Amino acid sequence: MSRDALAEFIEAKAKEFDIPGVAVGVWVEGRELFACHGVTSIDNPLPVDRDTLFVLGSVTKTYTATAIMRLVETGRVDLDAPVRRYVPELRLPDEDAAARITILNLLNHTAGLDTRMVFDSGDGDDALAGEVAKMAEVALIGPVGGRASYSQLGYNLLGRVIEHVTGQTYEAAVASLVLEQAGLTNSVFTAGQAITRRFAVGHNLSEGTLKVARTWKDTRGNNPGGGLASSVSDQLRWARFHLGGGDLARRMQEPTAELHGSTLGDAVGIAWFLRDVDGVRTAGHGGSANGQFADLLLVPERDFAIVAVSNAGPDSGLEFNQAVVRWALEHYLGVVERDLEPLPYDPERAQEIAGHYENEFMTLIIDTDGDTMTVECRIKPEIRAASETELPPDMPPVGLGLLPGNGDEYIVTGGGLIGQRGFLTRDANGAIIGADLAGRLFNRVPTTAE
């Protein structure tokens, strides 16, 4: 076990992917190992260290879920209760669904809610109330409890549950219920808190050149789903809190819903995505912000954790984090993650699959040139036009291949999403009506020919 080996690896990978700054922490054999490289910003550079704040994006969901579970422990929240018991003002276009969605449906992404909205409800203490009010306009993508589909909206709604139950703002409640209890002193939600510390900014490619992302983090209304900024040192403390084996941690790592054809995992617990890697069960969560990326993976049976953060996009940070996690599993545990091999190109299948798929926020484009298939993820143009802040760049087209089996599962073969798996959904007549990627459902958009 060597700090030098970790430092050498992350430095080489950061240079390979042209990332300004990275930080990595490993908990193994009862010791903390850290390796940091590069700078916080190419415009105003400071060295990245173990206490530098990075925006965690959706890793924040593990904090929101833990706060809910603390309230469950004390009898203030019931996982099987309808959300309206705690948020009576909840309205959705589907009234029956609004009445039936439970707390657990939100925690394991089975509420049928879409991915997210681009909506700024302001920086006031009523930001989450405004976010929830806007949900009255967002149609469900599926029946309550029908299947798992990743939802930022669901976790923002959980933030409002926390506010109603505690009588505090979401941020204050999480600080007292979670951050203080886990001993996290370098984890914050606001730019005002971050500006007195060392923090990283995101970077995105623009016309082949890295530039600083001018929106540092998402809106306050999205804090429960992705708004925490933290350091790798605090993230290892967070990992150790969940590796500690208490009842709360164990319950969160038990499967609550199956996942099909997803790189996120084989199942979702309470926030954590659960998957077997080389015969070993892991629990993890990733996150992305505007040009910043975070990954946290636990291996409970080995008392092991790895956290990686990076500050360049649209896909280089994803590739870096994935490479670091894989290397750490193999280097420290001998656990090897093997890529699935796609089938040879099938022009008939490619033509059947090619098309546009969308959710409320993004469009997924599967295309073919007659020799290969590609997939591309774009934020909808109308969403970009309506946004008052800078949004992350689109993911460029990358390779896509079908996997053996029923022929409706696929794998991304290039770019920052390399290794990501997804699957197609068909109707009763066998027609393709949807595609999943990164745990999110995209419904097929019919063309004139269809």
- Render pLDDT for 259-291 as a digit per residue (tens, 0 to 9): 887 878 899 999 999 999 999 999 999 999 999
Q: What pLDDT is recorded for position 249?
A: 95
pLDDT band at 391 (very low <50, low <70, confident <90, very high): confident
- Weakest-pLDDT range from 242-246, 309-313, 315-319, 393-397: 393-397
For the entire predicted model, the pTM comes to 0.91
pLDDT band at 164 (very low <50, low <70, confident <90, very high): very high
371/289 Cα distance (integer angstroms): 34
Q: What pLDDT is recorded for position 344?
A: 94
What average pLDDT does the segment 193-215 reach? 94
330/337 Cα distance (integer angstroms): 8
Share of the chain above pLDDT 90, in %: 80
405-423: per-residue pLDDT in tens? 877 999 999 887 788 888 9
Share of the chain above pLDDT 70, in %: 98
Is 194 in contact with 188 (CB distance < 8 Å)? yes
309/318 Cα distance (integer angstroms): 9
Partners of 399 in beta bridges: 374
What average pLDDT does the segment 69-75 reach? 98
Q: What pLDDT is recorded for position 108?
A: 97
What average pLDDT does the segment 65-71 reach? 98
pLDDT band at 134 (very low <50, low <70, confident <90, very high): very high
For residues 59 and 263, the model is more confident at 59
Is 92 in contact with 135 (CB distance < 8 Å)? yes
CA distances (Å), 349 to each of 2, 8, 28, 358, in order? 48, 44, 45, 20
pLDDT higher than 80, residue 316 = yes
33-48: per-residue pLDDT in tens? 999 999 999 999 999 9
pLDDT band at 361 (very low <50, low <70, confident <90, very high): confident
What average pLDDT does the segment 300-322 reach? 95
Gyration radius of the chain's alpha carbons: 21
Closest CA to 142 of 321, 417, 359, 337: 359
The rounded Cα 124 to chain-centroid distance in angstroms is 25
Is 398 in contact with 412 (CB distance < 8 Å)? yes
5-20: per-residue pLDDT in tens? 999 999 999 999 999 9
Which residues neighbour 25 within 8 Å (Cβ) at sequence distance 6 or greater? Answer: 32, 33, 34, 50, 232, 233, 235, 236, 305, 306, 307
Q: What pLDDT is recorded for position 315?
A: 84
93-119: per-residue pLDDT in tens? 999 999 999 999 999 999 999 888 878
201/215 Cα distance (integer angstroms): 9
Closest CA to 40 of 237, 236, 309: 309
Q: What pLDDT is recorded for position 1?
A: 53
pLDDT higher than 70, residue 3 = no
Residue 163: both structure tokens together: 């506010």
354/254 Cα distance (integer angstroms): 37
Per the rule left: phi > 0, alpha: psi between -120 and 50, beta: everything else, 112 is: left
Q: What pLDDT is recorded for position 448?
A: 53
For the chain, give the mean pLDDT. Answer: 93
- How much helix, strand and coil, in percent to the nearest 5, is found in the chain? 35, 25, 40
Instruction: Determine phi and psi for 66, rounding to 5 degrees.
Output: -65, -40
